[in-house]
Amino acid sequence: MQLDPEMFDPVCPSGALPFRIGDKWTAMIVLCLENGPARFTELRVPLKRISPKVLTETLKAMERDGLVTRTAFDENPPRVEYELTALGRSLLALIGAVREWSSAHLADLLAHRERSPLSHRPGESRLAAP
Amino acid sequence: MQLDPEMFDPVCPSGALPFRIGDKWTAMIVLCLENGPARFTELRVPLKRISPKVLTETLKAMERDGLVTRTAFDENPPRVEYELTALGRSLLALIGAVREWSSAHLADLLAHRERSPLSHRPGESRLAAP
DNA sequence: CGGAATCCTCTTCGATACTG
DNA sequence: CAGTATCGAAGAGGATTCCG
């Protein structure tokens, strides 16, 4: 599994989306695993700015919920692979639906926000990007 | 517009959903407005536990993003109505998709979480219900 | 009635450093 | 390589009180 380091647009306004799949990273991880298992460090590549702590937490939560499986190989150096379960795979359709909504309506939402005289504080950006 | 005070199941595990539409209340507000405009206080009924501060914030954010319109009538006592825009209405299909996913898979996710030996800490519940 | 103003807590996220 | 351990900042969400 080779993951494209550029698979996520760094200026993608997904942070402004009125949706979240799980926490901040879950949807992206599901997408990363769509075409097969990946290793911890491989996931860190397209997820450029994720810290190991947060990646660990997110993967553990996903494993706990039955979205991914974790397989540790007894080798040296160690190797661990994460793979989508059927349940995790079932999220793909929904993520697709969110993406379709976004391509159809997100620009509209963003334009409206831009023009709005309403204060952006407090709360500033709700789900805004960093 | 009469809103059913019981329209949201108080023990609904929606807090455990791996999705969020906007912030915690946005999706419920969209649902509340599905069949026509409603007043501030009317919204507080089905949204039982929401504080006025949070409802105000959420509605302002939604207005800013073009999801709802706010109409203040110059009467006494004052009356304000919130209504879905076309953009806000476009969320209904997505909310429907999330609901379908939930009825098909949420029990599975919850059961897996229940059986999982993985610690629920730290982070405890990600998107857990109150 | 429809908020605004305050104050506070809990969770999320991140940076950094270290380890089997 | 695949994490763990700490620390810290920020924001969402809530409780309560007050106001035109």
**How does pLDDT run across A61-71, given as a tens digit for each residue?**
999 999 999 99
Q: What is residue A15's DSSP assignment?
A: G
pLDDT score for A53: 97
- Confidence tier at A120 by pLDDT (50, 70, 90): low
List, for chain B, all residue ranges whose pLDDT scores fall below the cut of 70.
Answer: 1-2, 119-130
Q: Is the pTM of this model over 0.85?
A: yes
Using the CA of B44, which nucleotide's C1' is the nearest one?
A: C2
Distance CA A28, CA A10 (A): 13
More confident residue, A89 or B119: A89
CA of B1 to C1' of D18 (A): 30
pLDDT at A9 over 90: no
Q: Tally the residues of chain B.
A: 130
Span A21-56, pLDDT tens digits: 999 999 999 999 999 999 999 999 999 879 999 999
Closest nucleotide to A125: CA versus each C1': D11
Return the ∠ at Cα B41 (arms to B36 and B47), rounded to 5°: 80
Q: Rounded CA gap, B122 and B45, in Å?
A: 34
* A120, A126, A127, best to mutate vs chain B, most B CBs in 10 Å: A126
